[in-house]
């Protein structure tokens, strides 16, 4: 089936093997390097010997990466947010999401020209730990997790290791995009999970055929902003790594670039100024 027709009929299209294995190896090493630095910086004790990064073999040593993620998460869950943000602005991740085949396919599916500008929104690599129900994404539509009055296409794909039913691969309600925005509930922060969740009502989900979409690394799924989807349940003993993100059409009439909001995790520019001036003026 033609990719545009498949997207139109089913709400999603899976492009096979469009990101090279070498790219996933680079992401794997990026995570490992950042985690080693975090463990050293925060003096995190581990009950295992951390393997030297230069001795790692990909994909044989993915479990070595899992162990580092578990160690940091168990020490201080808030550090996971810092890990997410660090990787999201690393050059390796920029190369992954800016892969020419991903760009080409996204433009084709949005019927854009080869020179049309697309804007990246909320691109991240999710790390879904085993049995973690609190942070599992419930049934939702991405339309409420983006900016109003925009035209975008969402992407999802396994990173570092394949996504399976066992490790909680993405689940979709086939053809659900055809109904546009559906009835859903806004759930405020309850502690231990998302800041808030916007959840599609169960009675609506039950009307659709649910697909659990297993994918290999290199595969990328492109899907409609109205497609109802969620994270599967990770019943394995391994972490599922997956890239998520939106490509926005900058030529769309309603598009306005969101304002980036960066905030220091240590001290503010003003705090830094005050400290430095205090040192200088006390001499």
CATH number at residue 18: 2.60.120.620
17 found inside a domain: yes
Entry pTM: 0.93
Measured distance between the N- and C-terminal CA atoms of the chain, rounded to whole angstroms: 74
Q: Taking the mean position of all CA atoms in its chain, how far away is CA 17?
A: 19
* Beta strands 118-128 and 240-249, pairing class: antiparallel
* Radius of gyration for the chain, computed over Cα atoms and rounded to the nearest angstrom: 20
Position 50 scores a pLDDT of 98
Quote the number of domains for the chain.
Answer: 1
Q: How far is CA 231 from CA 2, 136, 139, 282, in A?
A: 27, 6, 8, 56
How far is it, in rounded angstroms, from Cα 241 to Cα 143?
Answer: 23
Position 148 scores a pLDDT of 84
Lowest mean pLDDT among 41-50, 58-67, 125-134, 239-248: 125-134
Going by C-beta distance under 8 Å and a sequence separation of 6 or more, which residues neighbour residue 48? 67
217 found inside a domain: yes
Question: With 70 as the cut, is the pLDDT of residue 192 above it?
Answer: no
Bigger pLDDT: 147 or 279? 279
27 found inside a domain: yes
How far is it, in rounded angstroms, from Cα 115 to Cα 132?
Answer: 42
76 found inside a domain: yes
* Beta strands 171-173 and 220-223, pairing class: unpaired
Per-residue pLDDT tens digits for 65-116 = 999 999 999 999 999 999 999 999 999 999 999 999 999 999 999 999 999 9
How far is it, in rounded angstroms, from Cα 63 to Cα 247?
Answer: 31
Of 57, 53, 50, 52, residue with least CA distance to 21: 57
The residue range of the domain holding 184 is 3-256
Average pLDDT, the chain: 95
267 found inside a domain: no
Q: Taking the mean position of all CA atoms in its chain, how far away is CA 80?
A: 13
Q: How far is CA 20 from CA 108, 160, 173, 254, in A?
A: 20, 11, 29, 35
274 found inside a domain: no
Task: Report the b/e string of 190-220 with b at 16+ CB within 10 A.
Answer: eeeeeeebbbbeeebbeebeeeebbbebbbb
279 found inside a domain: no
How far is it, in rounded angstroms, from Cα 239 to Cα 126?
Answer: 10
Side-chain half-sphere CA neighbours of 262 within 13 A: 6
Share above pLDDT 90 across residues of the chain, in percent, rounded to a whole number: 88
Alpha helices (runs of H) in the chain, residue ranges in sequence order: 3-10, 21-41, 62-75, 79-88, 91-97, 100-109, 202-205, 269-281
> Sign of the C-alpha dihedral, residues 157, 95, 24, 111?
positive
3-state secondary structure of 61: coil
Per-residue pLDDT tens digits for 250-265 = 999 999 999 888 889 9
169 found inside a domain: yes
């Amino acid at each position: 089936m033609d990719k545009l027709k498949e997207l139109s009929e089913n709400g999603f299209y899976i492009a096979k093997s469009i990101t090279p294995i070498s790219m996933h190896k680079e992401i794997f090493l990026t995570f490992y390097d950042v985690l080693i630095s975090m463990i050293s910086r925060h003096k995190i004790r581990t009950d295992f010997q951390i393997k030297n990064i230069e001795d790692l073999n990909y994909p044989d040593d993915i479990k070595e990466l899992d162990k580092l993620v578990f160690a940091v998460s168990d020490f201080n869950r808030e550090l996971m947010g810092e890990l997410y943000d660090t990787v999201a602005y690393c050059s390796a991740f920029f190369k992954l999401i800016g892969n020419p085949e991903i760009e080409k396919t996204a433009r084709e599916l949005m019927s854009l020209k080869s020179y049309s500008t697309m804007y990246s929104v909320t691109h991240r690599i999710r790390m879904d730990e085993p049995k973690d129900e609190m942070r599992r994404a419930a049934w939702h539509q991405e339309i409420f997790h983006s900016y109003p009055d925009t035209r975008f296409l969402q992407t999802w794909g396994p990173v570092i290791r394949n996504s399976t039913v066992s490790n909680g691969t993405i689940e979709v309600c086939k053809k659900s995009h055809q109904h546009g925005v559906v009835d859903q509930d806004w759930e405020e922060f309850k502690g231990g999970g998302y800041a808030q969740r916007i959840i599609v009502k169960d009675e609506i989900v039950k009307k659709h055929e649910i697909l659990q979409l297993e994918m290999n690394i290199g595969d990328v799924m492109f899907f409609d902003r109205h497609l109802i989807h969620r994270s599967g349940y990770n019943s394995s003993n391994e972490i599922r790594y997956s890239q998520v993100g939106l490509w926005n059409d900058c030529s769309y009439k309603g598009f306005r670039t969101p304002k980036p909001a960066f905030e220091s995790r240590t001290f503010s520019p003003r705090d830094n100024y005050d400290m430095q001036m205090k040192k200088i003026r006390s001499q």
